[in-house]
């Protein structure tokens, strides 16, 4: 009888340890593991904003936070562009055509901002973008195809986007949890952008805030 009780005890302990291990594996991941963080400062990005207004009327950088906003009635970013209004941080110096690259940033979208792209992987064929992260009525979405997070307003969240060019795969993590794995969309040159870029059914005022932006490349 004592032997059976002892066996039952060890079996219960084993099951408990297994459950604890599995619970740990269900927690948030570190998507940057195995990547190298590249230098990032003002020389590695530029601001795309309506061509007829000064930069400081659509962008600010204070206490480590990039604030970008745009109006639905604003002009595009160049005189010749036929695109909708935007104020975006455009990464420069890290255009890529192969390998595995990652964007990381902490983002904040205030209540009311809608019909807007807040982050994109620019470059594709025949499309313009490989990925768009949009906001519609508080939902964080992959284009308009799937909801990544149903309620995103008024809180900071960590966004990691990994683009494996050679495997034609894009993965999106929110706060360390994998929310999307999608096919690449072709193209020979890519870069990252974040901010606000008006889409269909856009609100009059659109804003997003960003901090701790990093550009990373997978170790060889």
Say yes or no to pLDDT of 22 above 60. Answer: no
Percent of the chain with pLDDT over 90: 86
Say yes or no to pLDDT of 1 above 70. Answer: no
Say yes or no to pLDDT of 77 above 50. Answer: yes
Say yes or no to pLDDT of 4 above 70. Answer: no
pLDDT value, residue 5: 47
pLDDT value, residue 12: 47
Q: Is the peptide bond before 62 cis (omega within 30 degrees of 0)?
A: no
Say yes or no to pLDDT of 2 above 60. Answer: no
Q: What ranges in 76-197 are assigned the alpha helix state H?
A: none
Say yes or no to pLDDT of 211 above 50. Answer: yes
Q: What is the mean pLDDT of residues 9-22?
A: 41
pLDDT value, residue 13: 43
What gap in Å lies between CA 125 and CA 113, rounded to an integer?
29
pLDDT value, residue 65: 98
User: What radius of gyration, in Å, describes the C-alpha atoms of the chain?
Assistant: 21
Q: What confidence tens digit (pLDDT) does each residue in 92-151 have?
A: 999 999 999 999 999 999 999 999 999 999 999 999 999 999 999 999 999 999 999 999
What pTM did the predictor assign?
A: 0.87
Average pLDDT, the chain: 91
Tokens of 2: 């004592």
Query: Strand runs (DSSP E) across 32-115, as ranges?
Result: 35-37, 45-48, 59-62, 65-71, 86-91, 100-108
């Amino acid at each position: 009888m004592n032997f059976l009780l002892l066996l039952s005890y060890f079996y219960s302990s084993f099951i408990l340890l297994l459950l604890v291990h599995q619970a740990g594996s269900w927690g948030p991941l570190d998507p940057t593991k195995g990547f190298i963080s590249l230098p990032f400062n003002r020389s590695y990005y530029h601001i795309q904003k309506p061509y007829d207004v000064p930069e400081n009327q659509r962008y600010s950088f204070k206490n480590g936070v990039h604030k970008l906003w745009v109006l639905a009635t604003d002009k595009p970013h160049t005189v010749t562009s036929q695109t909708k209004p935007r104020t975006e941080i455009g990464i420069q110096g890290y255009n890529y055509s192969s390998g595995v690259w990652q964007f990381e940033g902490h983002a904040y979208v205030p209540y009311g901002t809608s019909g807007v792209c807040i982050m994109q992987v620019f470059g594709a064929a025949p499309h313009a973008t490989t990925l768009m992260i949009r906001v519609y009525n508080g939902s964080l979405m992959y284009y308009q195809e799937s909801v990544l997070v149903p309620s995103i307003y008024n809180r900071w969240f960590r966004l990691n986007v990994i683009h494996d060019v050679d495997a034609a795969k894009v993965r999106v993590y929110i706060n360390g949890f994998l929310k999307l794995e999608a096919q690449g969309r072709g193209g020979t040159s890519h870069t990252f952008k974040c901010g606000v870029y008006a889409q269909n059914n856009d609100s009059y005022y659109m804003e997003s805030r960003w901090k701790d932006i990093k550009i990373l490349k997978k170790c060889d």
